[in-house]
A and B are shown apart, each in its own frame.
Chain A
Amino acid sequence: MTESTSPSFDGLEKGQTVAEREVAITRDTLVRYAGASGDFNPIHYNDIIAEEVGLPGVIAHGMLTMGIGASVVEEWAGAGNVSDYQVRFTRPIPVPNPGAASVAVVARIGALDEERRTARVDLTVEFEGAKVLGKAQAIVDCE
């Protein structure tokens, strides 16, 4: 007998906030993500190269932002229970040096599928009051 971690479907309500988190992204965060993911695009660590291609400076990996979003959903959903997850990258997050870019993540129930017992979790990810991800949706398998 195993201890399932999927959330209970019953009692969920559309619009309900299931998890939220404020994350401080620093240059250290970017270096760690580059190493963990294998994404060594220099726009994520080298200001000169970032500016040469028209960016305001070093920006966070879009996949880091997406990954943090997933972590917030998983905090509620449990490990291994997100079967589908999509985002659009709509704005870059410049990461200062020194300092941190503070990103606010809120995960809310966007839709419920009674038949499949799945919940669509809609993510709002904001930096300086503006959304950085569009159509950020995760499908969570519930009990």
Chain B
Amino acid sequence: MPVNADAVGRSYGPFEPYEVTRVKIREFADAVDAYSGAYRDVAVAQAEGYADLVAPTTFAVVIAQKAEFHVVTDPEVGVDFSMVVHGEERFTHVRPLVAGDVISTTVHIDSIKQRAGISMVTTRSELVDADGAPVSTVYSTLAVREA
């Protein structure tokens, strides 16, 4: 069954806020081979002007993918997850995420384009901090093949 193109415009969340921790930042920095001391050493991060450890550029995907999960598992959208390939990704940061941030995310289905048995589903996750101030926008496009 193809993806339901009428799902464009749907929004999900905000969900239980995500707490950014030092442990998770260090783990992610190791996983993507990020070298900077500001990802691991609080004193280094503070000397560079940050409140706490800085998250690498793509760390926001950890938070965004949790939100996107609600889209791909919504039966009314109809994504067969075993047929999904990641097409595109984009991060726009107002400021870097830092340890201690408490982030709420709302995800929107921005577009669904269908051609030749493939649906391109683009979501936009808006990440805001505990004060409601925007931190990052994460765009993700999934290519869903029809089974």
Q: Which residue of B lies closest to A72 (CB)?
A: B33
Stretch of A8-16, A59-67, A93-101, A108-116 on the interface side:
A59-67
Query: Looking at chain A, what size class is its interface with the partner chain?
Result: 35 or more
B116 is an interface residue with CB less than 8 A from chain A: no
Q: Are B61 and A63 in contact (CB under 8 A)?
A: yes
**Contacting residues, chain B, for A82 (C-beta < 8 A):** 57, 93
- Contact with B58, one of A5, A53, A70, A89 (Cβ below 8 angstroms): A70
Which range contains the number of B residues in contact with the other chain? 35 or more
Nearest CB of chain B from residue A33's CB, rounded to whole Å: 4
The reply to whether the CB of A23 lies closer than 8 angstroms to some CB of chain B is yes
Contacts A80-B48, A80-B50, A86-B88 known; A71 to B34 CB distance under 8 Å? Answer: yes
Residues of A within 8 A of B (CB): 2-5, 21, 23, 29, 32-33, 35-39, 41, 53, 62-64, 66-68, 70-71, 73-75, 78-80, 82-89, 138
A-B residue pairs in contact (CB < 8 Å), sample of 15:
A3-B47, A36-B30, A66-B89, A67-B31, A70-B34, A70-B56, A70-B57, A78-B48, A79-B36, A79-B39, A80-B95, A82-B93, A83-B92, A86-B91, A89-B85
